[in-house]
Amino acid sequence: MNYTMWIEYDGIRRQISAYVANDGDPKPSKAVFATPLTMSDRVPNKAYVGLFASGTTGGETYGLLSSNITVERVADTMGEPRENKRGAYGLMAVILFISVLCVTLIVILVFLRKMNSEAKQQLDDVLTHVARKLDYSAIRNATDNFSGARKLGEGAFGAVYMGTLWTGRDGHRQERLQVAVKKFTANENRRYTDFIEEIQVIIHLRHNNIVQLVGWCCEKRELLLVYEYKCNGSLDQHLFGNHGRQLPWATRYSIVSDVAAGLHYIHHELENVVLHRDIKSSNILLDGDFRGCLGDFGLARIVAGGGSSTAMEVAGTRGFIAPEYAQSGVATRRTDVYAFGALVLEIVTGRKALVPGPSPVLLTDHVRSFHRYGNLLEAVDGDLTTAEGRQYDAGEAGRLLLLGLACTNQNPSDRPVMRDVVQIIGKTLPPPEVNHPAFLRTPEGGLPLLSSSDDGGVPSLSQR
């Protein structure tokens, strides 16, 4: 971690004080260290001074990277010779350097030791009540020492590994449990923040359609979160990968219903709203029965009140980012709904939410064009039509396509909330009505594109 340190000397009270805060935070009102100090008693009239400080605690090394010394002088004494005043000022600077050295050593060794031990103890106390604390050695053995052969994926935060843990203790029968271990390996500042932010969200979530936390580990400078392992992998692997068989229609419809239930839970069933901020097919995990579970809450945030976050760096994946979110940086439940709509369109069409290229095409705009020209069902995944005819329910497919278009409406207030989405999928509400904008958009709120091709037909979307 990086810290800012303030060293202050009060020449009237003859006291030196030190203040420490996280890098970027303002100076705290309470000093972490203060002691009486009379400068003239500490050094001779002439001295050479160097400043260096470091400390080690719990296997971690800390050092003072830079210092800033400010000497606030008392007004000149009338009649005092100039040379004496210069000598006094020089002596004061030398003494202050020495004092800073002493105080810095004490602060680094005492404050950081106290802070680390207290923070880790508080983390242990909180997490032990909501999730199982796992030994690092057990996780290391479960993943074959984080073998590359067991890596399931990786991102900016680190990597995820498949593992096998043995459950049961105190003489109880042990059972094998397949797990997915998220190992945070980003730079030290970032990974601690990522770990805390994710665990603050996930420990509150208990739902059949949300991947559950099995345990955690904060040991040997390693930060690990252990989740349920879903044996059928992620949804994108089945939609766009080479699994050898297509997801049947009934399974697709069921997955949409599962994800909607999980999203409804975090939006409407908790004391505080949780915004996922990264809904996409690779974050939908499938169990042995192909039940869909919402996973990867690394970018999620807990918000109160109206369910809006404050402006922050835009998170998510292109094609799933609502245009107003891309412009303002403010995430809301309706920006999650937009991402859900893009996901629904992927599931029904078998195409990616954003097709890259010189002129990227949003899937929502492509499907909207089919609807405008009265042939909406032509957007359905071609693999669901065989020589025997349609292998899908036309009414359900139309319902989901209209739902996807409504959820990705350019106007956030016209998007349905998840309460209505669940009922539309459950067929207790009719499919939504969809109006069309005059223009189609480039991804994430760029300049408009013409809504049709030059020959008056539906724009081409050749890539999948």
Active-site residues, by number, are 278
Cα–Cα dist 30/24, whole Å = 17
- Residue from 301, 323, 342, 349 nearest 458 by CA: 349
Is 427 known as a binding-site position?
A: no
In order of 39, 204, 307, the CA distances from 272 in angstroms are 54, 10, 8
Q: Using an 8 Å Cβ cutoff, are 310 and 301 in contact? A: no
Measured in degrees and rounded to the nearest 5, phi and psi for residue 179 equal -135, 160
What whole-number distance in Å separates Cα of residue 280 and Cα of residue 456? 32
Pairwise CA distance, residues 381 & 254, whole Å: 16
Pair 138, 165: CB distance under 8 Å: yes
How far is residue 422 from each of residues 112, 259, 380, measured CA to CA in Å?
50, 10, 21
Q: Which of 114, 134, 120 is nearest to 33 (CA)?
A: 114
Cα distance between residue 66 and residue 53, in whole Å: 10
* Sequence ranges of the binding site: 183
* Sequence ranges of the binding site for ATP: 183
